[in-house]
Every structure is written in structure tokens, then in C-alpha cells.
């Protein structure tokens, strides 16, 4: 949710948006402080005193999500459909709970063990000949409780040495 973009706004709206207890002083709502995140939607909120209620117009407690996940490099040798790598993703921002979805974007097709979890193993299907390289691009998408989404693309490489 976001505070109204234009006045009037009330202290009760400010308390509700930022989860502050009633009676919290206006000076507690500085950008980058306890309640107001230092994000681009809050650029108009001062980071130091003085502050007025009007400067909180359009401000939001929501912090956009940023997803991180490592690339996967491994060797599926020996065996058929062997696990060769894992990617454990994480997110900052957003509002939990989160849902997750791993999808293939391009390149080689790998088996995704847990496509609806933050962390998954990758397997190379079949039993490709030793010495064959396979690379694909995969995406982990996070959806938060507000239905906002954020994603990270990673490279998955099996050297099959």
C-alpha cells in the first residue's frame, strides 16, 4: 500500500502504512530511519529533520524485491540424470510469504528437482557422452504476498567431463 499522493493525509494513515504504534512522533518517519525505507518511491521524504506530513505523500513501506542466485557449474559424471549442481536463491525486500518458480529461458534442458522452491538441484537428463558440454539459462521468479514479482536469470552449465 502507499500513502495518498496528495494531501490531506492523517497520522493514522501514516501509522498504518509504516506499522508504527499510535502516538509515534512525526520525526520518527525520516527516510532511511526505523519506519520509512530508503527507496526511490520515498525520495521526497527527508532523511533529517525538519519533516512535515505533506512530505510523506506518496511514501510507501514497501521495499522492492531484489533476487540473488548463483550460477551453476558442475559435472554430471558418472551416471544417468545425476545431480551436478544446486542453486540456492534469496530475496531482499518484498512482503512474505513468497512463492517461487524456476523456469527454463533458453539453451540446454535440465531437470529441475524442485521447481517451486527457493533452492533446487539441476540434473542432466539421460546419459550424454562424456566430454559433452551443455549450457542453459534458467530463471528463478519470486512472487510476494502483494503479487509483486522479481526474478534472477542464472547460467547452468554441465561439463560432463
> Is it the case that residue 90 has pLDDT exceeding 90?
yes
Q: Give the residue with greater pLDDT, 145 vs 135.
A: 135
**Once rounded to an integer, what is the mean pLDDT over residues 109-137?**
93
Query: Cα(27)–Cα(6) distance, rounded to whole angstroms?
Result: 20
Instruction: Quote the radius of gyration of the chain (alpha carbons, Å).
Output: 23
Of 57, 32, 26, nearest to 47 (Cα)? 32
Closest CA to 117 of 90, 96, 148, 78: 90
pTM: 0.75
Mapped onto helix, strand or coil, the DSSP state of residue 44 is: coil
pLDDT by residue (tens digit) across 93-119?
A: 998 899 999 999 999 999 999 999 999
Give the pLDDT band (50/70/90) at residue 142.
very high
Domain boundaries, the chain: 11-56, 66-158
Q: Tell me, what's the pLDDT at 145?
A: 85
pLDDT at 19: 93
- pLDDT, one tens digit per residue, over 46-89 is 999 999 999 999 999 988 899 999 999 998 877 777 888 999 99
Q: Using an 8 Å Cβ cutoff, are 47 and 37 in contact?
A: no
Q: Is the domain covering 66-158 a CATH 2.60.120.260 domain?
A: no
Amino acid at each position: 500500500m502507499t500513502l495518498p499522493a496528495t494531501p490531506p493525509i492523517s497520522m493514522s494513515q501514516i501509522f498504518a502504512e509504516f506499522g508504527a504504534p499510535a502516538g509515534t512522533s512525526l520525526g520518527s518517519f525520516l527516510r532511511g530511519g526505523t519506519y520509512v525505507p530508503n527507496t526511490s518511491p520515498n525520495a521526497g521524504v527527508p532523511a533529517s529533520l525538519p519533516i512535515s506530513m505533506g512530505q510523506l505523500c506518496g511514501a510507501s513501506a514497501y521495499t522492492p524485491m531484489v533476487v540473488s542466485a548463483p550460477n551453476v557449474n558442475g559435472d554430471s559424471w558418472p551416471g544417468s540424470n545425476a545431480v551436478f549442481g544446486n542453486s540456492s536463491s534469496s530475496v531482499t525486500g518484498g512482503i512474505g510469504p513468497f512463492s517461487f518458480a524456476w523456469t527454463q529461458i533458453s539453451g540446454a534442458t535440465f531437470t529441475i528437482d524442485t521447481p517451486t522452491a527457493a533452492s533446487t538441484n539441476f540434473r542432466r537428463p539421460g546419459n550424454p557422452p562424456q566430454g559433452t558440454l551443455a549450457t542453459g539459462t534458467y530463471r528463478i521468479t519470486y512472487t510476494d504476498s502483494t503479487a509483486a514479482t522479481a526474478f534472477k536469470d542464472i547460467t547452468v552449465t554441465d561439463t560432463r567431463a
